[in-house]
Chain A
């Protein structure tokens, strides 16, 4: 089955700086890669996703890049704000079943 590794497990950045979270996956057949944000005490919410036929996708301050050859994908958050503080999960899917990474606790320091 699929195995997803996520790094780092914790990340602290100064407000206004960029944050990068990286994930690797094992199943080369995986074709869909979403990122979820989970604030304390709340449900995970999809923030951005990318499919395997695309190398990069951007939505305002958030971007995701995918390297299919190396089997890794990354989340980039620019101009971070305190409200970006949360746990971020990457995931990879093949045939409807999502496998999640272990999460990154992002703290944006004012």
Chain B
């Protein structure tokens, strides 16, 4: 265990559903991240929250909406996703400028 916990581990949803992914860290880190991992592609940074300030990747569609209520919790709200959004979604945390610690990920399938 790295101290970064993600739920759920697996999620199947229809294109009209609304769901949320949750991430929690108790490592005292002040930055949290969402990454998307698709087959045969690099890990793609979606969002960064550093000291609760959001830094966005402008290529992320608006159907993905992050929320960071405090430095220990991070959510990714999903709405009207497309089949191509099926992927492994990884949460990570780090101290400022430090090493990334990843969660186990949520394997998302959009039908």
Total interface residues in chain A, CB < 8 Å: 19
B90 with A34: CB separation less than 8 A: no
CB-CB contacts of A32-55 with B at 8 A, as 1s and 0s? 101010000011111001000000
A99 with B102: CB separation less than 8 A: no
A100 CA to B45 CA, complexed, in Å:
9
CB-CB contacts of B1-18 with A at 8 A, as 1s and 0s? 010000000000000000
A102 within 8 A of B: yes
> Do most interface residues of chain A lie in helix, strand or loop, or is the interface mixed?
strand
User: Which of A34, A42, A101 meets B100, CB within 8 Å?
Assistant: A34
A99 CA to B2 CA, complexed, in Å:
21
B45 with A43: CB separation less than 8 A: no
Contacts of A34 in B (CB 8 A): 99-100
A66 within 8 A of B: no
Distance in angstroms from A64 CB to nearest chain B CB is 14
B96 with A43: CB separation less than 8 A: no
| Chain B residue nearest to A5 in the complex (CB) | B42
A-contacting residues, B29-80, CB 8 Å: 31, 40-43, 45, 48, 50, 55
Can you list 22 pairs linking A and B with CB atoms under 8 Å apart? A42-B104, A43-B2, A43-B102, A43-B104, A44-B43, A44-B90, A44-B100, A46-B99, A46-B100, A89-B42, A89-B43, A96-B31, A96-B48, A96-B94, A96-B96, A96-B97, A97-B45, A97-B48, A97-B55, A98-B45, A98-B100, A99-B42
**B contacts, CB < 8 Å to A:** 2, 31, 40-43, 45, 48, 50, 55, 90, 94, 96-97, 99-105
